[in-house]
Amino acid sequence: MSQTESYYGSGTVYIKRRGAAGAARRPIGNCSKLTFAVADESKEQQNYEGGGGTISKVTRIKSVTAAITADSFSADNIALALRGTATVNASTGAIADEPHADIVRGSLILTDRLPNLGLPLEVTLGGTPVPEEGNYERKRSGIYILPDATDLADGADIEIGYTPLADDLIEALTASGDEYELVFDGLNEAASGEPTLIVCHRVSWSPTKGLDALGDNFGALQLEATLLADGSVTGTGKSRYFTVRKGRLG
């Protein structure tokens, strides 16, 4: 009599860039989905000697893919999803007289950095401070010039003094197709927490097909990857794609 083994998985996904000296195997963070799919293709030889049907068939693996839904919008995860690069700017020194030429009323003026709205922000015109009331509004990304600004005219050149926030800058689609190792350190909650380890040797990420920047629910990063054959894996019965190790507690 066979024994049913149910599976209810949870755990942490880690990735590490291949070929990078000292690269960390970092956790992606909370993920609500990790799915693997294997696609194959078949070549069939028809029976022409009578009766029809197939006389021979060859099936080959076409692709191995992985899909992850990541709930953590860290800078590194966004860069991974956008095949970009992430840099940290920790400088929070005050910026004086940042120039912005030829302004237009009824327009958002983007400052070079994100302003700390809890600290003073000043707009000057020809060195003279411009009153905030009746002229502009502070925004998370700069200032908005009111359509009927009293002291600011279209075409004016202004300066903005403010203190920036520390920030992460992600430049989208600037990174090459780096390869990664992917590890799932999981457990089966339906089997008393038996450990499950999945190791993918070579993973190539595709730019995301879904980046929730605005919505009425928590955002999610849709990550898709192709598992490539790892030629360094040798030996009979050894997978060049990925392995699954299923622990036994009893």
What CA–CA distance (Å, rounded) separates 33 from 31? 6
What is the reported pLDDT for 54?
87
* 150 in a structural domain: yes
What is the reported pLDDT for 1?
46
Into how many domains does the chain fold?
Answer: 2
Identify the domain boundary among 135, 165, 195.
Answer: 165
Residue among 121, 209, 216 at smallest CA distance from 162? 121
Residue among 30, 22, 6 at smallest CA distance from 220? 30
* 4 in a structural domain: no
- Contact (CB, 8 A) for 135 and 150: yes
* 3 in a structural domain: no
Q: Residue 231 sits in a domain of what CATH number?
A: 2.40.30
What is the reported pLDDT for 210?
78
* 206 in a structural domain: yes
Same domain, yes or no: 189 and 227: yes
- Contact (CB, 8 A) for 198 and 181: no
C-beta atoms surrounding 150 within 10 Å: 11
pLDDT tens digit at each of 250 positions of the chain: 457 889 999 999 999 999 888 889 999 999 999 999 999 888 988 888 888 888 898 888 889 999 999 999 999 999 999 999 999 999 999 999 999 999 999 999 999 999 999 999 999 999 999 999 999 999 999 999 999 999 999 999 999 999 999 999 999 998 877 899 999 999 999 988 999 999 999 999 998 887 888 888 998 999 999 999 999 999 999 999 999 999 988 7
What is the reported pLDDT for 249?
84
What CA–CA distance (Å, rounded) separates 79 from 14? 15
- Contact (CB, 8 A) for 153 and 165: no
- List the beta strands (DSSP E) in 118-241: 122-125, 128-129, 136-139, 142-145, 158-162, 167-171, 179-188, 194-211, 221-228
Q: Are strands 9-17 and 26-27 parallel, antiparallel or unpaired?
A: antiparallel
Same domain, yes or no: 78 and 112: no
Q: Which helix (DSSP H) or strand (DSSP E) does residue 143 occupy?
A: strand 142-145
What's the domain range around 123? 91-165
- Contact (CB, 8 A) for 119 and 162: yes
- Contact (CB, 8 A) for 222 and 78: no
Same domain, yes or no: 15 and 79: yes
Identify the domain boundary among 165, 180, 211.
Answer: 165
Same domain, yes or no: 70 and 185: yes
Identify the domain boundary among 165, 193, 210.
Answer: 165
Runs of H (alpha helix) within the chain? 75-81
